[in-house]
Amino acid sequence: MTTFTAYVEWDPETRLYVGTVPGIPGAHTQAAGLDELRDNLKEVLELCLAEQRVASEDLPQFIGLQQVQVSV
């Protein structure tokens, strides 16, 4: 069993939660609720990892987040 960290955003235009797992190509999905988003992310991760046949030691490791300020 491997635990992944997903980046979750709210899209006000579509009114959906959008989840992405950094470092896993194609591992992104959306849903109306957070429970559904988690289930969708689990499903897409399983599909992506099965397709890529990645060894567990080669999976990306979550290190942390950084905030960067810019003028808008």
| Number of helices and strands in the chain (H, E) | 1, 3
Is residue 52 classed as helix, strand or coil in its secondary structure? helix
pLDDT-derived band of residue 28, with 50, 70 and 90 as boundaries?
very high
- Phi and psi, residue 63, nearest 5°: -105, -45
Q: Is pLDDT at 57 greater than 80 in this prediction?
A: no
| Alpha-carbon gap, residue 38 to 35, rounded angstroms | 5
Q: What's the pTM? A: 0.81
Percent of the chain having pLDDT more than 70?
96
3.40.50, 3.30.160, 1.20.1300, 3.30.1540: which CATH number matches 7-58? 3.30.160
